Structure 1
Amino acid sequence: MKVRPAQRFEAGALTELALASKAHWGYDEAFLAACRDELTMHPADMDRRRTTVAEEDGRVLGFTTLDGAPPEGALGMMFVASGALGRGIGRFLFEHTITEARRLGFVRLTIDADPNAEPFYLAMGAVRIGATPSGSIPGRELPLLEVGLTSH
């Protein structure tokens, strides 16, 4: 498995991967439709959001975005293909993104986590610092997590 920068032409495929990954948690079609805009990757955003993919044998298995400008930013999106869950791809992507964030001078990242993904992020060293409103579902709150990057 390797990581590489996402290519502009992959925006549509990454959007579909994000939606399929979100569907893994049992969300219905109406919920996923409400999330579509927020989970849509645009070709023009790929570089600005520092989009990185994990791939194996030419197949994209997941991706992350590292949003913002140092010293503080966000792990904006992180999704693993539903058929590839449980293989360590999330850990691989998370660790790569943290390493890249440190290299770029970030000292803190926040994560607006899906409630189902919160245990993963906590296991990776994130801490819950509050809640944030969903950008897609009125009245829904998401766990707000942070990762400090100043210690190794």
Structure 2
Amino acid sequence: MWKIRSASSKEDEILTSIAAESEAYWGYDEEFMEIYKIIYNVTPEIISENLAYVLEDEGDIIGFYVVIQEAYLGEVEYFYIKPRYMGKGYGRIMWEHMIDLCESFGILEIELVTSPQAKEFYINMGAVVVSEVLSQVNSRKIPKLRCEVLRKQKK
């Protein structure tokens, strides 16, 4: 049975590994991945200073996300799932948890930058492409998306 919980700063290496495995799924070459691992290294500080949560199933961490809060804006810095769990609904579970969490912290809007291959997932979750930005890993342009955190009607 799956559950979502706060990430521990001691899980930095596991989360970095999941991020790299997930990114490599899209077929990037070794040079790209070496630079990626340096830039997107998940540190204990990133985990402890931000909204960092893991999704685990039977004690195995299968995905995680990190949101950096800047007043009423949240920046989704990490949102990754192990490739063997992709397409099974876990991304939606994490997304919905993240949106609920952002709402509870007063975040009104989230932004994220993603690979072109993952863009459709975020669009299906309600995000819209607002621009393209240069990748931190190489000189290609990648999508930047924004999503309003929907306020639920209180009953």
TM-score where L is the length of structure 2: 0.93
Alignment partner, residue 49 of structure 1: 50
Matches within 5 A, 1:104-115: 104-115=105-116
Separation (CA, whole Å) in 2 of partners of 1:63 and 1:56: 12
Tell me by how many angstroms 1:67 deviates: 0.9
Alignment partner, residue 142 of structure 1: 142
Unpaired runs of 5+ in structure 1? none
Matches within 5 A, 1:1-152: 1-137=2-138, 139-152=139-152
1:63·1:79 contact (CA, 8 Å) conserved in 2?
A: yes
2:103·2:151 contact (CA, 8 Å) conserved in 1?
A: no
Question: Amino acid of the residue matched to residue 9 of structure 2?
Answer: R
- Report SS of the residue matched to 1:47: helix
Shift >3 Å, 4+ stretches: none
Aligned length: 151
Identity %: 28
- Report SS of the residue matched to 2:48: coil
Tell me by how many angstroms 1:14 deviates: 0.6
TM-score where L is the length of structure 1: 0.95
Tell me by how many angstroms 1:34 deviates: 1.4
Question: Amino acid of the residue matched to residue 107 of structure 1?
Answer: L
Separation (CA, whole Å) in 2 of partners of 1:32 and 1:148: 31
Tell me by how many angstroms 1:38 deviates: 2.0
In angstroms, what is the RMSD of aligned CA positions? 1.1
Question: Amino acid of the residue matched to residue 145 of structure 2?
Answer: L
**Which has the larger displacement, 86-95 or 56-65?**
86-95
